Homo-oligomer: A and B are copies of this chain.
Amino acid sequence: MKENIYDQPEFFAAYSQMDRSRRGLEAAGEWETLAAMLPDCAGLDVLDLGCGYGWHCRYAAEHGARSVLGTDLSARMLAEARRRTNPSAITYRRAAMEDLECPDAAFDLVFSSLALHYVADYEALVRKIRRWLRPGGSFVFSAEHPVFTAQGPQDWEYDAQGRIRHFPVDRYFEEGRRTARFLGCGVTKYHRTLTTYLGALLENGFALRAVAEPTPPQRLLDTVPGMADELRRPMMLLVRAEAAGKTAAGACG
Protein backbone atom coordinates (compact mmCIF):
# COMPACT_ATOMS: atom_id res chain seq x y z
CA MET A 1 0.00 0.00 0.00
CA LYS A 2 2.77 2.41 0.81
CA GLU A 3 4.66 2.07 -2.41
CA ASN A 4 8.21 3.34 -2.32
CA ILE A 5 8.92 3.84 -5.99
CA TYR A 6 11.34 6.69 -5.34
CA ASP A 7 13.79 4.14 -3.93
CA GLN A 8 13.74 2.08 -7.13
CA PRO A 9 17.00 2.93 -8.93
CA GLU A 10 15.58 3.42 -12.45
CA PHE A 11 12.73 5.61 -11.26
CA PHE A 12 14.96 7.65 -9.00
CA ALA A 13 17.48 8.16 -11.80
CA ALA A 14 14.72 9.49 -14.08
CA TYR A 15 13.25 11.65 -11.32
CA SER A 16 16.63 13.18 -10.55
CA GLN A 17 16.89 14.33 -14.18
CA MET A 18 13.61 16.28 -14.07
CA ASP A 19 13.99 20.01 -14.31
CA ARG A 20 12.28 20.56 -10.97
CA SER A 21 14.66 18.08 -9.30
CA ARG A 22 17.79 19.69 -10.76
CA ARG A 23 16.80 23.34 -10.46
CA GLY A 24 14.43 23.32 -7.50
CA LEU A 25 11.53 25.64 -6.80
CA GLU A 26 12.18 28.09 -9.61
CA ALA A 27 11.57 25.34 -12.16
CA ALA A 28 8.26 24.31 -10.54
CA GLY A 29 5.37 25.90 -12.43
CA GLU A 30 3.18 26.09 -9.34
CA TRP A 31 5.74 27.50 -6.93
CA GLU A 32 4.86 31.19 -7.22
CA THR A 33 1.19 30.48 -6.50
CA LEU A 34 2.08 28.13 -3.66
CA ALA A 35 4.59 30.53 -2.10
CA ALA A 36 1.92 33.25 -1.99
CA MET A 37 -0.29 30.90 0.05
CA LEU A 38 2.33 30.24 2.72
CA PRO A 39 2.30 32.20 5.97
CA ASP A 40 5.36 34.18 7.02
CA CYS A 41 7.63 31.38 8.24
CA ALA A 42 9.58 33.49 10.76
CA GLY A 43 9.57 31.78 14.16
CA LEU A 44 7.30 28.94 13.05
CA ASP A 45 7.64 25.23 13.74
CA VAL A 46 7.14 23.59 10.37
CA LEU A 47 6.40 20.02 9.24
CA ASP A 48 6.88 19.05 5.58
CA LEU A 49 5.14 15.78 4.65
CA GLY A 50 6.82 14.10 1.68
CA CYS A 51 9.71 16.52 1.61
CA GLY A 52 11.58 14.94 -1.31
CA TYR A 53 14.78 16.83 -2.05
CA GLY A 54 14.02 19.25 0.77
CA TRP A 55 13.61 22.39 -1.33
CA HIS A 56 10.62 23.55 0.70
CA CYS A 57 12.33 22.73 3.99
CA ARG A 58 15.21 24.93 2.94
CA TYR A 59 12.83 27.70 1.91
CA ALA A 60 11.18 27.63 5.36
CA ALA A 61 14.52 27.58 7.16
CA GLU A 62 15.87 30.44 5.05
CA HIS A 63 12.74 32.43 5.86
CA GLY A 64 13.28 32.18 9.58
CA ALA A 65 11.42 29.05 10.64
CA ARG A 66 12.34 28.06 14.18
CA SER A 67 12.34 24.37 13.30
CA VAL A 68 11.62 22.34 10.20
CA LEU A 69 10.89 18.62 10.21
CA GLY A 70 11.02 17.08 6.76
CA THR A 71 9.66 13.55 6.36
CA ASP A 72 9.75 11.19 3.42
CA LEU A 73 9.37 7.49 2.80
CA SER A 74 12.33 7.36 0.45
CA ALA A 75 15.84 6.91 1.80
CA ARG A 76 17.31 8.11 -1.50
CA MET A 77 15.27 11.31 -1.39
CA LEU A 78 16.32 12.01 2.17
CA ALA A 79 19.99 11.39 1.32
CA GLU A 80 19.70 13.97 -1.45
CA ALA A 81 17.85 16.35 0.85
CA ARG A 82 20.58 16.09 3.50
CA ARG A 83 23.26 16.64 0.88
CA ARG A 84 21.60 19.66 -0.73
CA THR A 85 19.91 21.44 2.16
CA ASN A 86 21.75 21.69 5.44
CA PRO A 87 20.58 24.63 7.57
CA SER A 88 20.73 23.64 11.22
CA ALA A 89 17.00 24.27 11.74
CA ILE A 90 16.12 21.28 9.53
CA THR A 91 15.68 17.70 10.73
CA TYR A 92 14.93 14.92 8.27
CA ARG A 93 13.12 11.77 9.29
CA ARG A 94 12.28 8.71 7.25
CA ALA A 95 8.60 7.90 7.65
CA ALA A 96 5.48 7.29 5.63
CA MET A 97 3.15 10.14 6.45
CA GLU A 98 0.40 7.65 7.27
CA ASP A 99 2.60 6.21 10.05
CA LEU A 100 4.10 9.43 11.34
CA GLU A 101 3.35 10.27 14.95
CA CYS A 102 3.90 13.76 16.36
CA PRO A 103 2.86 15.42 19.61
CA ASP A 104 -0.39 17.39 19.60
CA ALA A 105 -0.08 21.11 18.83
CA ALA A 106 3.56 20.75 17.82
CA PHE A 107 3.48 22.81 14.59
CA ASP A 108 2.39 26.18 13.26
CA LEU A 109 2.56 25.06 9.63
CA VAL A 110 2.06 21.65 8.08
CA PHE A 111 3.06 21.63 4.45
CA SER A 112 2.93 19.01 1.72
CA SER A 113 3.97 19.32 -1.91
CA LEU A 114 2.59 16.82 -4.42
CA ALA A 115 2.52 13.92 -1.98
CA LEU A 116 -1.07 13.54 -0.74
CA HIS A 117 -2.15 11.66 -3.87
CA TYR A 118 0.11 8.82 -2.70
CA VAL A 119 -1.95 8.45 0.50
CA ALA A 120 -4.83 5.97 0.59
CA ASP A 121 -6.61 7.37 3.64
CA TYR A 122 -6.56 11.14 3.27
CA GLU A 123 -9.22 11.87 5.86
CA ALA A 124 -7.35 10.01 8.60
CA LEU A 125 -4.27 12.08 7.77
CA VAL A 126 -6.30 15.31 7.90
CA ARG A 127 -7.47 14.44 11.39
CA LYS A 128 -3.87 13.81 12.50
CA ILE A 129 -2.68 17.06 10.96
CA ARG A 130 -5.43 18.95 12.77
CA ARG A 131 -4.14 17.54 16.06
CA TRP A 132 -0.52 18.34 15.23
CA LEU A 133 -1.36 21.97 14.47
CA ARG A 134 -1.68 24.72 17.02
CA PRO A 135 -4.93 26.72 16.88
CA GLY A 136 -4.65 29.24 14.07
CA GLY A 137 -1.95 27.17 12.40
CA SER A 138 -1.95 26.50 8.69
CA PHE A 139 -2.12 23.41 6.51
CA VAL A 140 -0.90 24.29 3.02
CA PHE A 141 -0.64 21.67 0.33
CA SER A 142 -0.46 20.93 -3.34
CA ALA A 143 -1.79 17.67 -4.72
CA GLU A 144 -2.53 16.33 -8.15
CA HIS A 145 -5.89 17.69 -9.26
CA PRO A 146 -8.91 15.34 -9.27
CA VAL A 147 -9.27 16.04 -13.00
CA PHE A 148 -5.73 14.75 -13.47
CA THR A 149 -6.07 11.65 -11.30
CA ALA A 150 -9.61 10.50 -12.18
CA GLN A 151 -9.13 8.26 -15.20
CA GLY A 152 -5.81 6.75 -14.18
CA PRO A 153 -3.11 6.89 -16.89
CA GLN A 154 -2.75 10.71 -16.63
CA ASP A 155 -2.11 11.09 -20.33
CA TRP A 156 -3.72 13.25 -23.03
CA GLU A 157 -5.99 11.97 -25.76
CA TYR A 158 -4.11 12.24 -29.08
CA ASP A 159 -5.17 12.33 -32.71
CA ALA A 160 -3.74 10.11 -35.45
CA GLN A 161 -0.91 12.62 -35.99
CA GLY A 162 0.05 12.50 -32.34
CA ARG A 163 -1.32 15.93 -31.52
CA ILE A 164 -3.17 16.54 -28.27
CA ARG A 165 -6.96 16.55 -28.70
CA HIS A 166 -8.04 17.01 -25.07
CA PHE A 167 -7.57 15.49 -21.61
CA PRO A 168 -9.79 12.53 -20.72
CA VAL A 169 -11.81 12.44 -17.50
CA ASP A 170 -13.47 9.22 -16.38
CA ARG A 171 -14.27 7.27 -13.17
CA TYR A 172 -14.43 10.60 -11.32
CA PHE A 173 -16.66 9.46 -8.47
CA GLU A 174 -14.87 6.11 -8.14
CA GLU A 175 -12.29 7.06 -5.55
CA GLY A 176 -9.26 4.93 -4.89
CA ARG A 177 -6.19 3.37 -6.39
CA ARG A 178 -4.94 4.24 -9.87
CA THR A 179 -1.85 3.24 -11.84
CA ALA A 180 -0.38 6.28 -13.56
CA ARG A 181 2.46 6.31 -16.07
CA PHE A 182 5.21 8.58 -14.77
CA LEU A 183 8.80 8.64 -15.95
CA GLY A 184 8.30 5.34 -17.76
CA CYS A 185 7.06 3.51 -14.67
CA GLY A 186 3.67 2.48 -13.37
CA VAL A 187 3.11 4.47 -10.18
CA THR A 188 0.33 3.85 -7.66
CA LYS A 189 -1.65 6.96 -6.83
CA TYR A 190 -5.01 7.57 -5.18
CA HIS A 191 -7.79 9.50 -6.82
CA ARG A 192 -10.26 11.43 -4.74
CA THR A 193 -12.81 14.06 -5.64
CA LEU A 194 -12.65 17.74 -4.93
CA THR A 195 -15.56 17.15 -2.57
CA THR A 196 -13.34 14.85 -0.51
CA TYR A 197 -10.26 17.09 -0.60
CA LEU A 198 -12.18 20.11 0.70
CA GLY A 199 -14.94 18.39 2.65
CA ALA A 200 -12.52 16.48 4.88
CA LEU A 201 -10.99 19.80 5.89
CA LEU A 202 -14.31 21.57 6.55
CA GLU A 203 -15.55 18.61 8.56
CA ASN A 204 -12.43 18.23 10.70
CA GLY A 205 -11.84 21.64 12.21
CA PHE A 206 -10.34 23.62 9.36
CA ALA A 207 -11.49 26.84 7.70
CA LEU A 208 -10.64 27.17 4.03
CA ARG A 209 -8.55 30.24 3.32
CA ALA A 210 -7.56 29.73 -0.31
CA VAL A 211 -8.10 27.22 -3.11
CA ALA A 212 -6.13 27.59 -6.32
CA GLU A 213 -5.37 25.75 -9.52
CA PRO A 214 -1.99 27.15 -10.53
CA THR A 215 -0.93 28.08 -14.03
CA PRO A 216 2.73 28.29 -15.03
CA PRO A 217 4.30 31.76 -14.97
CA GLN A 218 4.84 33.48 -18.32
CA ARG A 219 8.61 32.90 -18.26
CA LEU A 220 8.05 29.12 -18.21
CA LEU A 221 5.25 29.30 -20.80
CA ASP A 222 7.65 31.17 -23.06
CA THR A 223 10.67 28.93 -22.63
CA VAL A 224 9.63 25.36 -21.80
CA PRO A 225 8.36 23.26 -24.73
CA GLY A 226 4.85 21.96 -24.12
CA MET A 227 4.28 24.15 -21.07
CA ALA A 228 1.38 25.96 -22.78
CA ASP A 229 -0.56 22.68 -22.78
CA GLU A 230 -0.74 23.07 -19.01
CA LEU A 231 -3.43 25.70 -19.68
CA ARG A 232 -5.68 23.05 -21.22
CA ARG A 233 -6.44 21.13 -18.04
CA PRO A 234 -5.79 21.60 -14.32
CA MET A 235 -3.01 19.39 -13.01
CA MET A 236 -2.70 20.60 -9.43
CA LEU A 237 -4.91 21.68 -6.61
CA LEU A 238 -3.45 24.06 -4.00
CA VAL A 239 -5.18 24.61 -0.67
CA ARG A 240 -4.56 26.76 2.38
CA ALA A 241 -6.61 25.77 5.41
CA GLU A 242 -6.46 27.16 8.91
CA ALA A 243 -6.88 25.15 12.08
CA ALA A 244 -9.85 26.64 13.88
CA GLY A 245 -9.11 27.49 17.49
CA LYS A 246 -11.33 26.59 20.45
CA THR A 247 -13.10 29.93 20.21
CA ALA A 248 -13.04 30.15 16.46
CA ALA A 249 -14.49 26.64 16.10
CA GLY A 250 -17.94 27.90 16.94
CA ALA A 251 -17.68 30.86 14.63
CA CYS A 252 -15.70 29.30 11.82
CA GLY A 253 -16.90 25.72 11.93
Q: Which residues of A contact B (CB under 8 A)?
A: 147, 150-151, 157, 165-174, 193-195, 198-199, 202, 207-213, 215, 231-234, 247-248, 251-253
Instruction: Report whether B171 and A253 are in contact in the complex, using a CB–CB cutoff of 8 Å.
Output: no
Q: A151-B166, A168-B169, A171-B231 are in contact. List 11 more A-B contacts (CB 8 A).
A: A157-B166, A169-B232, A173-B213, A173-B215, A174-B231, A194-B194, A194-B211, A194-B213, A195-B211, A202-B209, A208-B208
Instruction: Report whether A195 and B212 are in contact in the complex, using a CB–CB cutoff of 8 Å.
Output: yes
Listed by A's residue number, 19 A-B pairs whose Cβ atoms lie within 8 Å are A165-B170, A166-B169, A168-B169, A169-B233, A170-B233, A172-B233, A173-B213, A194-B194, A194-B213, A194-B234, A195-B211, A198-B208, A199-B212, A202-B210, A207-B253, A209-B253, A251-B251, A251-B252, A252-B252
Chain B residues with Cβ below 8 Å from A195 are 211-213
Instruction: Report whether A165 and B168 are in contact in the complex, using a CB–CB cutoff of 8 Å.
Output: yes
Chain B residues with Cβ below 8 Å from A212 are 195, 199
Interface core residue of A174, A194, A215 (most chain B CB under 10 Å) = A194
Q: Name the residue on B nearest A240 (C-beta).
A: B202
**Is the contact region of chain A dominated by helix, strand, or loop, or is it mixed?**
mixed
Number of copies: 2
Q: Name the residue on B nearest A136 (C-beta).
A: B251
Chain B residues with Cβ below 8 Å from A173 are 213, 215, 231-232, 234
Interface core residue of A151, A169, A252 (most chain B CB under 10 Å) = A169
- The CA of A60 and the CA of B195, in the complex, are separated in Å by 26
